[in-house]
Structure 1
Amino acid sequence: MQKETLHKSLIRDFYRRAVAQGDTAFAEQLISDTYIQHSSALKPGKAGVLEALNLMKQMPKPTATATPFMRLIAEDDYVVTNLRFDWGGRQKVVVDLFRFENNQVAEHWDAVQEQPETTANGNAMMDGDLPSEDTALTATNKKIAVEFYQRIFIDRQVQDLPEFVADDLIQHNPEIANGLEGLHAYLRQPSDTKSTLTIHRTISEGNFVVIQAEGKRAANPIMVYEIFRLDQRKVVEQWTVESRL
């Protein structure tokens, strides 16, 4: 079995068995003894995850949406998941990033946001296309997306947007309107993230590219996960989830 396929299967089972069904024995096997936790919501190490899973057994289960597992994107030792669920009457959107080592989860990052009641584009934060199975363009799309992010979001060379973005861009960032013009208007606003954003890693599969970057919003350090779908060498759909560090 291809490494990425195996890793996606293991993560899918982790959500279904360990998170949804409380199977901590499965989690015990899947998580490395040297596991590194970057989520501020959990205690450090493997023990922190197992403690959280045991606490979840005692809590009312969240109501899953019709499609709680929206995406699984994998490259090499990394798996990115996008999901949404209802908790306490509020819909949460989540990006989880896992790193594997010897087929065990060795490291984890995440970002969680509430789905706002209204958005600038009328789209939910986790709706949209799923990754294609065709990985022939993975490397090409990754190169394009990294150059796009560097030139547009970091260097703010907004005049170059038409080179990278389709006119009918579908937008899921709640603060940005649909279309190339919506992104253009957003990027023309003053931003304290200019020159402070740094790309940490990029995970790509087929027509999807995930960029993990660190920057600031209102002087607060943040971790940003940008997810782009490309078609014919242009970005045609964008998702954004971020969290404070």
Structure 2
Amino acid sequence: MSTHRSPRSLFTGATMILATVAVLTGCAAAAPAPSTGDASPGATTASTIQDGGTTADRTDTATESANLEIVTRLITDAFADPSSTTATGTAEELVAADALAHGDGLAPGPDGLLAQFTAAHTRIPGAQAVIKHTAADGDLVAVHYQITATPDDERTGEAAVDLFRVTDGTVVERWSFDQTVPTGTPASGNTNTMFSDLYEPADDTFVPTEEQEEANRELAVGAYNTLFRDQDPSILDTAFDPAYLQHNSVAPNGTEALKSFFSGGAAFPPNESVISLSDGDLVWTFSQPVGAASGDAFVAADIFRVDENLIREHWDVVPTTPAS
């Protein structure tokens, strides 16, 4: 894994059952996991998914770094002006002609990627893609970014997570998640944004080993599944920092709100992690309803910061129309 960390740059009523599981998804935390892979590994469209979503070696740091470079270049070259010759050339070079695309209204291949970016400019004139966090793990690359015309203001535009599968230097599959960034005072009362990095580890020079990254992945995936598939909130006492930092604008910081949610008897369909990445101190999970069939929608993308075997911080993107 590439150990990249970007520079620091439900509860208000039943409606929120919070983007139902999604906000909750973001509030999960790290527990002993039953296996190194995700649950329901076969539930992704037209892919052979193994070991939490990747069919490649999770310890091949050279290939992972190259894959991350490919995806970063693709966004940098193609997003600013999707109609430019630079964008077209880069997309045709780096995206397979038959690359699969999963998400509402997304089309396959390089033209589909350019159309996705063009649509973002239609929704937000003058939009820029401001990358906040990235991960490369096996053949997967994930990017968390803000789509905004005012990059100095993190409370504008949209929050997005795109997931790419890269094979032999070419994007062969991708998923896209985006949601509008809420404006005004967050329902949670938190002053942090959907993007900021707030947690300060005791040792900010520590770089996780490959073994620690994999342990973090097992911890976060196991915790997510315990909370949202098994609906066992006891994991909140063992896997979370009680004061963990929450970047979902509806859910407040800390574990008490989630405990109240579960103890209130609210019911929601069980979800489970299907695809996951671990890179540096971040673990990314992509979830589906339990029992989902191939081609069924993904409900959320969640990012967890894990430090000293506890989940310390969380971000998520919950699309209005889930990615399928």
Settle same-fold status: TM greater than 0.5. yes
Match of 1:206 in 2: 280
| Count of residue pairs brought into register by the alignment | 237
Match of 2:106 among 11, 32, 42: 42
Q: CA deviation at 1:237?
A: 0.3
Name the stretch that deviates more: 72-81 or 115-124: 115-124
Match of 1:84 in 2: 146
Q: Which has the higher strand share?
A: 1
Q: 1:63 to 1:50 in 2, by over 3 A?
A: closer
Q: CA deviation at 1:156?
A: 1.4
Cα distance in 2 for partners of 1:32, 1:46 equals 7
Q: In 1, are the aligned partners of 2:277 and 2:284 still within 8 Å (CA)?
A: yes
Q: In 1, are the aligned partners of 2:228 and 2:272 still within 8 Å (CA)?
A: no
Q: 1:213 to 1:181 in 2, by over 3 A?
A: same
Q: Deviations over 1:162-206 (max 9, x none)?
A: 10000210001122110121332344451323x3x1321111112
Match of 1:166 in 2: 241
Instruction: Kindly provide the amino acid, as one letter, of the partner of residue 62 in structure 1.
Output: A
In structure 1, runs of 5+ residues without a counterpart are none
Match of 2:191 in 1: 122
Q: In 2, are the aligned partners of 1:201 and 1:213 still within 8 Å (CA)?
A: yes
Q: 1:50 to 1:15 in 2, by over 3 A?
A: closer
Q: 1:63 to 1:77 in 2, by over 3 A?
A: closer
Name the stretch that deviates more: 177-186 or 197-206: 177-186
Q: CA deviation at 1:151?
A: 0.9
Match of 1:71 in 2: 133
Q: Deviations over 1:136-177 (max 9, x none)?
A: 110110111111011112211112211000021000112211
In structure 2, runs of 5+ residues without a counterpart are 1-60, 291-296
Instruction: Kindly provide the amino acid, as one letter, of the partner of residue 166 in structure 1.
Output: D
Q: Deviations over 1:20-78 (max 9, x none)?
A: 143210110000122001122332333323455678899943156xxx11011110110
Q: 1:85 to 1:170 in 2, by over 3 A?
A: same
Is the partner of 1:227 in helix, strand or coil?
A: strand
Match of 2:73 among 13, 28, 32: 13
Match of 1:142 among 207, 211, 217: 217
Cα distance in 2 for partners of 1:164, 1:55 equals 39
Cα distance in 2 for partners of 1:143, 1:50 equals 35
Percent identity, aligned pairs only, is 24
Cα distance in 2 for partners of 1:56, 1:230 equals 32
Instruction: Kindly provide the amino acid, as one letter, of the partner of residue 284 in structure 2.
Output: V
Match of 2:167 among 88, 101, 116: 101
Cα distance in 2 for partners of 1:33, 1:176 equals 41
Match of 1:237 in 2: 313
TM-score, scaled to structure 2: 0.66
Cα distance in 2 for partners of 1:86, 1:51 equals 17
How do 1:175-194 and structure 2 match up within 5 A?
175-189=250-264, 190-193=266-269
Cα distance in 1 for partners of 2:267, 2:163 equals 26
Cα distance in 2 for partners of 1:234, 1:95 equals 23
Name the stretch that deviates more: 152-161 or 84-93: 84-93
**1:4 is the counterpart of 2:64:** yes
How do 1:147-158 and structure 2 match up within 5 A?
147-158=222-233
Is the partner of 1:204 in helix, strand or coil?
A: strand
**1:31 is the counterpart of 2:133:** no
Q: CA deviation at 1:19?
A: 1.3
Q: CA deviation at 1:96?
A: 0.5
Instruction: Kindly provide the amino acid, as one letter, of the partner of residue 113 in structure 1.
Output: Q
